Structure 1
């Protein structure tokens, strides 16, 4: 009997590393054993947690500053202990949050063009946790709302413009391993060292649902999918790596659970809400597996695997606004290697036509926020505002696209320099790689 091949427009997606000269090299990448990706990227900047003596620091580079970075580059260095997590604000490409073993969270304003001297004074200092803060996650649609998770088993949700706590979540009996918002920020899902998953109302701290997750002894991760289901990675009792899909309203049993392999690296699920593709990136793995999610069983469909010879220490994922639409690029990763190299990997869909491929690109999250922090805490929910990706496309003759940066409410005491009206990126894609030129 002939095999029936599942029809998918992403069946032929392939990944390709660009040439080393267009990557970022000679970086003192952190040696921390913390379960973090150590990297965050947006259409303007690349941020990487670095190894530093006498405190915690991270590196911020404009995307066009490729090549050898060196050891004398200015850093963002205001923490008293190691930095554990960093995250760019989805509503302001110049704003980044960092968390640390020093129990604090700091918000930093990065000027256009990057920093020229080491930055030690944060824009906002958030102090409430009693132990190290392992994760920072921005609200997907509400301006200035930031979630922080600490080893004190507490979650705080902040309005960073006022440095005030909007809500406190104190329902975990052991260390929280991961936290993620749902699509509109009305719920969060957590994984915990007690091997339980919890769906929580982030405004009240009420546990809406809870259930036993992966039963292995190593950390599990859980994220929300766009339709409200939950995707998780973890380990079985026999230490085999697994992934699973769950109904957020019934965590008593997974909708599906699949065993992958017996490797011991923690799997970080990275989800593209526009395409439904889930990338699995394991600490210490040299491969990136990717799957397509569909609402119908069996839910998760294997697409392919990107293989390389070097294991990854950390990973960053570029938002859709920063991709090369003219080259049918649907994803781009910034992979940290133990050698100090940050390797850029581009995932594209091969197409013969040079016209805009509207079947590949749904409207994507815009930089503009949908609601304010006050509206959110008072019960207003809103999906992220969307922008047509066609607006970022200038046609096959010239792969240059203008991204208008709209003025946004200021979250700092002193107003930063205004963003330029447009950022032009000339990204040349060839067999040799991607060249970034910011004009």
Structure 2
């Protein structure tokens, strides 16, 4: 007589939940930018939180100590050296006082924030990077190499800079026929994955200037896609189906012919922005009208994607959660 033991999959994240911060721990009266651009409005590191804000006659962002809470005075000093709205800001992973900003003025600027935050408006950048002919909306610091920054603009061009010298190290201008939606380094910093308006997912070696892998129509929909590298080298993409359903897909970079897994989410126009935490292998998804925590699990040769918690949180809250 034989007995078959039932196999019950249990996730170690099954008890994960999100809790909204109390009002006294939140930031109030922040005049965030009204510029339409599918990107987070804030980024945080262990010292500061930076928020892109409205500015008359140029572009600006706030830099506040991470422990700051309550009302933000309208006279709070800003970083305000751009001639047009700021589209993206990213903290350097190797120096908590260094931040890069990208703008509609076609430039990228790198700033040195003093300990304790700003006491007066900052207008002079440490270095200004100029090579793009159209607005710049994507920044990605190299995960392991000091002072290496990747930028992508609406001129469909990728640039890699040494911000220590201001030198343009590599330039890739013919890999994308249309607008670049997202760029992400892998964990080692040897390749990047990109998504583009042509619906293709690409794996690129930027130093050699070559496209290693291409997956046409990674998602069938016409709305923007996003892609992030996971710690094991796989790629997670967010996009839309032909019927405008929001989707998640998991890809093996060795073979992009078919996704390892696809999950339909819901029907909405809001682009899903993925934030990956390599320490827990958790992905935070944020978008208009949709905030959930998703885990990826691979075992016995199969891949399982499960939504472990749904919470009403803003992109700003998720960015702070990812850091804290």
In the alignment, structure 1 residue 154 sits paired with structure 2 residue 162? no
Structure 2 partner of 1:186: 190
Structure 2 partner of 1:293: 297
Counterparts of 1:101 and 1:174, CA distance in 2: 18
Structure 1 partner of 2:209: 205
Moved beyond 6 Å, runs of 4+: none
Structure 1 partner of 2:231: 226
Structure 2 partner of 1:391: none
Counterparts of 2:205 and 2:281, CA distance in 1: 25
Does structure 2 retain, via aligned residues, the 8 Å contact 1:10–1:303? no
Among 10, 15, 33, the alignment partner of 1:12 is 15
Counterparts of 1:188 and 1:314, CA distance in 2: 25
Counterparts of 2:99 and 2:318, CA distance in 1: 14
What's the secondary structure of 1:15's corresponding residue? coil
Q: How does 1:341-356 map to 2 (within 5 A)?
A: none
What's the secondary structure of 2:18's corresponding residue? strand
User: Any stretches of 5+ residues in structure 1 without a counterpart?
Assistant: 319-331, 335-345, 347-439
Counterparts of 1:296 and 1:30, CA distance in 2: 47
Does structure 2 retain, via aligned residues, the 8 Å contact 1:222–1:230? yes
Q: CA deviation at 1:21?
A: 0.8
Judging changes above 3 Å, is the alpha-carbon distance between structure 1 residues 264 and 111 closer, same or farther for their aligned structure 2 residues?
A: same
Structure 1 partner of 2:221: 216
Does structure 2 retain, via aligned residues, the 8 Å contact 1:36–1:85? yes
Structure 1 partner of 2:247: 242
Among 133, 137, 143, the alignment partner of 1:134 is 137
User: Any stretches of 5+ residues in structure 2 without a counterpart?
Assistant: none
What's the secondary structure of 1:317's corresponding residue? helix
Higher RCO (CA < 8 A, seq sep 6+): 1
Among 97, 102, 112, the alignment partner of 2:100 is 97
What's the secondary structure of 1:271's corresponding residue? strand
Judging changes above 3 Å, is the alpha-carbon distance between structure 1 residues 62 and 203 closer, same or farther for their aligned structure 2 residues?
A: same
Does structure 1 retain, via aligned residues, the 8 Å contact 2:16–2:309? no
Does structure 2 retain, via aligned residues, the 8 Å contact 1:38–1:315? no
Counterparts of 2:196 and 2:112, CA distance in 1: 32
Judging changes above 3 Å, is the alpha-carbon distance between structure 1 residues 30 and 96 closer, same or farther for their aligned structure 2 residues?
A: same
TM-score scaled by structure 1? 0.70
Counterparts of 1:233 and 1:277, CA distance in 2: 15
Structure 1 partner of 2:262: 257
